[in-house]
């Protein structure tokens, strides 16, 4: 008799909860987009989701790009050849580079909810192939 109302309340609460997702980005020497790439290079996530960077090939890491993080998010830099998890907590764009292959265009962009820092992120200057690659990724933002 008492179990039914409690069960109903639990189910109602659980129905409103959306579990956080985990996205996987592979760090590759060669991929569909060419050499020295993250795949996928663009991810749409929600606050609370986790992005896991997987060193499929050696010699790579994941480092935040100066000026391409939402306000209040601390810069990050993973160790080389180690998996790295980033739980995204704030809405906005998170720009990511591979430290040694940045100039070769090894960049990624994570959009978390609304792109509140789009103007600031779009003004960041990139070097080498990263310039055109990041422009392409920013063009995917909605």
Q: Who's near 50: CB < 8 A, 6+ residues apart? A: 20, 21, 22, 23, 85, 86, 87, 88
Residue 126 annotated as binding site: no
Residue 98 annotated as binding site: yes
Residue 106 annotated as binding site: yes
Residue 12 annotated as binding site: no
55, exposed or middle or buried, with CB in 10 Å at 0-12, 13-18, 19+?
Answer: buried
Q: List residues forming the annotated binding site for Cu cation.
A: 60, 98, 101, 106
Q: List residues forming the annotated binding site.
A: 60, 98, 101, 106
């Amino acid at each position: 008799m008492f179990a039914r109302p409690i069960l109903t309340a639990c189910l109602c609460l659980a129905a409103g909860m959306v579990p956080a997702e985990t996205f996987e980005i592979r760090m590759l020497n060669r991929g569909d987009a060419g050499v020295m790439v993250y795949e996928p290079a663009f991810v749409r996530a929600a606050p609370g989701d986790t992005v896991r960077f997987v060193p499929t090939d050696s010699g790579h890491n994941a480092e935040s790009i100066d000026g391409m993080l939402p306000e209040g998010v601390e810069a990050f830099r993973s160790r080389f050849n180690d998996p790295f998890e980033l739980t995204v907590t704030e809405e906005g764009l998170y720009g990511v580079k591979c430290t040694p292959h940045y100039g070769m265009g090894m960049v990624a962009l994570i959009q978390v909810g609304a792109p509140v820092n789009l103007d600031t992120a779009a003004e960041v200057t990139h070097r080498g192939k990263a310039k055109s690659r990041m422009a392409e990724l920013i063009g995917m933002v909605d």
